[in-house]
Amino acid sequence: MNHDSYPDNYIRGILNNVKTIAMVGASPVNVRPSYFAFKYLAQRGYDLIPVNPGHVGKELLGKPFVASLLDIDRPVDMVDIFRNSSHIMPVIDEALTMTPLPKVIWMQLGARDDAAAAKAEAAGLKVVMNRCPKIEYGRLSSEISWMGVNSRTLSSKRAPPPTQGMRLSLNRTSMGGGDTAASDRAAKNRTEPG
């Protein structure tokens, strides 16, 4: 696998097929990137498990923290690593002792360890490095374009705004509508004669 560039189908396949995600380095501090990613993915229907030995006894959005991957009481599809690159190999070593093995190792933005990736791939796991599943989900589901962010996808037709229960391109259901006062005004102005 070329870890400098991932095909959209590779990322989409992962996000469509994983259900349980262990987030190593999750934080209950609501201004930390791991908190935002945890909350976003949980709202999209993923079963998230916060892993951080410094917060055992606390909860993150109603989910109790566990100290390590080996303390998780159910199978995990993906291990999402919110640690810097120097701490990745020990997480991979621990993940490779899980039964059953996770299907995916995902290293967050700024995190890359090619030796750890090779070790995980040799064990049959898919690996993503230096990417955020929250950002990739938003980009591939077109949610990111509803927020006015350039998704690098050109189209002459604007995607419809999300509505409650709408099926997204990642085969998940949206949690809420995309209506705002500004979008309502823009829609009204387009339909009224000038």
- Tokens standing for 192? 């009224």
Q: Name the residue range of residue 121's domain.
A: 8-136
User: What does the block give as tokens for 119?
Assistant: 């070790």
Task: For residues 118 and 56, state if they share a domain.
Answer: yes
Domains held by the chain: number: 2
Q: Along the 194 residues of the chain, how does pLDDT read in single tens digits? A: 899 999 999 999 999 999 999 999 999 999 999 999 999 999 999 999 999 999 999 999 999 999 999 999 999 999 999 999 999 999 999 999 999 999 999 999 999 999 999 999 999 999 999 999 999 998 898 776 555 444 455 455 555 566 665 555 565 555 544 444 554 555 566 555 55
151 in the same domain as 57? no
Q: What pLDDT was estimated at residue 179?
A: 46
Does a structural domain hold residue 184? yes
Q: Are residues 61 and 132 in the same domain?
A: yes
Q: Let me know whether 16 and 75 are in one domain.
A: yes
pLDDT at 107: 97
Separation CA 194–CA 191 (nearest Å): 9
Whether the model pTM is above 0.85:
no
DSSP string over 92-118: HHHHTTSSSPPSEEEE-TT---HHHHH
Backbone angles phi, psi at 120, to 5 degrees: -65, -40
Asked if the structure places residue 37 within a domain, the reply is yes
CATH number at 79 reads: 3.40.50.720
- Both 155 and 114 in one domain: the answer is no
Q: Are residues 44 and 132 in the same domain?
A: yes
In a domain, 157, yes or no: yes
